[in-house]
Amino acid sequence: MLPDGYVLSDDAATMQVDAIHAYLARSYWSPGIPRETVTRAIANSLCVGVFRDGAQVGFARVVTDRATFAYLADVYVLEAHQGRGLAHAMVEHLQQHPELQGLRRWMLATNDAHGLYASLGWEAVADPSKLMMRHFPDVYGATGA
């Protein structure tokens, strides 16, 4: 349940790319991300946003095959709107989305929101040594913002 005045949408046409890009380009996880990369990410993900007075104040997306696996990414709420349960509402909405039922595994990475995700049934990876990744931390610096 959202507080009065907030609207949640998973309609891709409602996502405000400029607002999302402005936040992500300054975030700790994707500094300098180009707008065109954000546009492609939105187009190829299942997205949800929270809006107040027509302005996008929160965003989250899932990268998924819609059969076995989902990766939750880019979850944020603008600072002025934090503490109202908006991130919780977005993640819960995605977890309950009809196209994402019956998945075997969901994953995410976070530096600072473990409590939020734990409240939604997430837990730390039991054996992180089983996980591997390819990471290119300077990729956005190479392509420009």
Confidence band (pLDDT; 50, 70, 90) for 57?
Answer: very high
Give how far Cα 75 sits from Cα of 34, 90, 102, 143, Å.
18, 8, 22, 23
Average confidence (pLDDT) over 88-115: 97
Model pLDDT, residue 50: 99
Statement: residue 145 has pLDDT above 60: no
Statement: residue 142 has pLDDT above 60: no
Average confidence (pLDDT) over 66-88: 98
Which strand (E) or helix (H) includes residue 116?
A: helix 114-118
The domains located in the chain, with CATH, are 6-124 (3.40.630.30)
Percent of the chain past pLDDT 90, that is, above it, reads 92
Cα 1 from Cα 86, distance rounded (Å): 9
Statement: residue 18 has pLDDT above 70: yes
Ranges of H-type helices in 6-113: 17-24, 35-43, 86-95
Confidence band (pLDDT; 50, 70, 90) for 55?
Answer: very high
Report the predicted TM-score, pTM, of the whole model to 2 decimal places: 0.93
CA dihedral angle for residue 25, residue 30, residue 34, residue 39, rounded to 10 degrees: -100
